[in-house]
């Protein structure tokens, strides 16, 4: 999978966010916020073709966390990206 | 030699070059009070240029205005921008603006007052971003020498709500009814009146510190709530010029300004009726703590 390169994380008033714009002039802007871990994974994996296992490995390498917890966190991170439609559609 | 004239917009000097356009602006509602004789041009819009939309550009957005009388599109090719206005009436020539960054815009002739007004709005929107200023869709009240931005989709009742302030809150004045300018100056958010005020002729060349922003929605009751940072971003962002917000370069500028704004002033969501109590509800939430 790949992160949609059209999205950009911005620091706004201290929060790390991605804006999902709705229709023109509408009220539909949604905001996805990133905590430190989610932002770390985003920065590491942006522009790369990756798997959930890659995200898990990054977490175990970077944080003091056991394999099972890291895998669960990585899965949730991927699920959140998918739900926010921040991943490129897969072929 | 084309004539030129200077306008003072949000603390910057705009030079308009083009004899028919300069003549048109002398009587175009909104512009005369911003006219200035002094200053050196910081921004230039030159009309009567030979510019055309290039082949192979990316259309960032399309939108209609004046009730579909003009179709427009905002196009990016490499790092240059083109704004094309096509009147529904095919006997009126299409107008093209070209902006390659920096402090000047080149445009074809403005065929009518609507296109002249809108081409300057778009030009200031693009050139102003680099100076930390943003045209924002808002009906704006000034109270106790501080500005309050009321935001919401067209038809939500922004103008209705600000009329209720004028009627029911002492020392309330309308600064602008459609497109004031939000700027960051010395780190602080301020609001300027502008020559663009929608259907309401309310043009004031003044600046006020920003007190708060309020997003409105219609409801069967009056209720106000302060928004957290994420909600505040989602409340303000749709009120920024949609064409610019769709572009990564301009979106960076917009978010920088919104970030500085949200970090310093409260943003509220007001669910409201069109009644006097609605005005008191927003007034009390914003200024209540400051009364003697």
B274: DSSP letter? S
Report the relative pairing of strands B43-46 and B12-17 from DSSP bridges.
Answer: parallel
Asked whether this complex has an ipTM greater than 0.90, the answer is no
Nearest residue of B to residue A28 by CA position? B238
Q: How far is B77 from A83, CA to CA, in rounded Å?
A: 32
Chain A CB contacts of B233 below 8 Å: 12-13, 15, 17, 19, 29, 31
Nearest CB neighbour to B238, from listed A10, A12, A26: A26
Q: Could you tell me the strand order of the sheet in which A30-34 lies?
A: A10-12, A15-20, A30-34
Taking CA–CA distances from A20, the nearest residue in chain B reads B234
> Does the distance separating the beta carbons of A27 and B259 come in below 8 Å?
no
DSSP bridge partners of A17: A10, A33
- Tell me the pLDDT band of A25, cut-offs 50, 70 and 90: very low
The per-residue pLDDT of chain B, averaged, comes to 95
Q: How many residues appear in chain A?
A: 91
Give this prediction's pTM.
Answer: 0.92
CB proximity A11 to B under 8 Å: yes
Show pLDDT as tens, one digit a residue, over chain B (292 residues). 899 999 999 999 999 999 999 999 999 999 999 999 988 999 999 999 999 999 999 999 998 887 788 999 999 999 999 999 999 999 999 999 999 999 999 999 999 999 999 999 999 999 999 899 999 999 999 999 999 999 998 889 999 999 999 999 999 999 999 999 999 999 999 999 999 998 899 999 999 999 999 999 999 999 999 999 999 999 999 999 988 998 989 999 999 999 999 999 999 999 999 999 999 999 999 998 655 3
Say yes or no for a CB contact (<8 Å) between B234 and A11: no
Over residues A33-69, the pLDDT tens digits come to 999 999 999 999 999 999 999 999 999 999 999 999 9
């Amino acid at each position: 999978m790949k992160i949609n390169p059209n999205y950009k994380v911005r620091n706004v008033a201290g929060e790390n966010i991605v804006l999902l714009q709705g229709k023109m002039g509408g009220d539909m802007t949604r905001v996805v916020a990133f905590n430190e871990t989610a932002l770390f994974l985003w920065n590491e994996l942006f522009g790369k073709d990756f798997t959930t296992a890659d995200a898990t490995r990054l977490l175990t390498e970077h944080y003091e966390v056991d394999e099972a917890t890291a895998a669960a966190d990585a899965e949730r991170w991927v699920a959140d990206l998918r739900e926010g439609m921040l991943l490129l559609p897969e072929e | 030699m084309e004539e030129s004239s200077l306008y003072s917009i949000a603390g910057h000097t705009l030079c308009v070059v083009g004899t028919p356009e300069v003549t048109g602006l002398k009587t175009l509602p909104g512009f005369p009070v911003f006219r200035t004789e002094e200053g050196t041009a910081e921004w230039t819009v030159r009309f009567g240029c030979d510019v055309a939309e290039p082949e192979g550009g990316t259309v960032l957005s399309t939108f209609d205005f004046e009730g579909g009388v003009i179709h427009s599109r905002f196009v990016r090719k490499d790092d240059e921008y083109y704004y094309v206005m096509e009147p529904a009436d095919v006997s009126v020539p299409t107008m093209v603006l070209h902006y390659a960054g920096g402090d000047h815009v080149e445009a074809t002739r403005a065929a009518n007052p609507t296109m002249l007004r809108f081409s300057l709005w778009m030009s200031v929107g693009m050139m102003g971003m680099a100076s930390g200023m943003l045209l924002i869709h808002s009906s704006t009240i000034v109270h106790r020498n501080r500005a309050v931005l009321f935001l919401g989709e067209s038809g939500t009742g922004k103008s209705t709500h600000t009329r209720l302030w004028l009627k029911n809150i002492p020392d309330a004045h309308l600064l602008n009814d459609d497109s004031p300018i939000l700027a960051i100056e010395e780190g602080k958010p301020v609001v300027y009146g502008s020559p663009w005020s929608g259907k309401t002729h309310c043009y004031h060349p003044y600046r006020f510190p920003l007190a708060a922003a309020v997003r409105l929605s219609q409801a069967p009751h009056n209720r106000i709530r302060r928004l957290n940072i994420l909600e505040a971003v989602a409340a303000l962002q749709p009120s920024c010029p949609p064409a610019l917000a769709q572009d990564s370069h301009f979106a960076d500028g917009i978010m920088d300004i919104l970030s500085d704004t949200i970090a310093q002033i409260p943003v509220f969501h007001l669910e409201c009726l069109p009644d006097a109590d609605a005005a008191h509800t927003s007034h009390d939430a914003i200024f209540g703590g400051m009364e003697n």
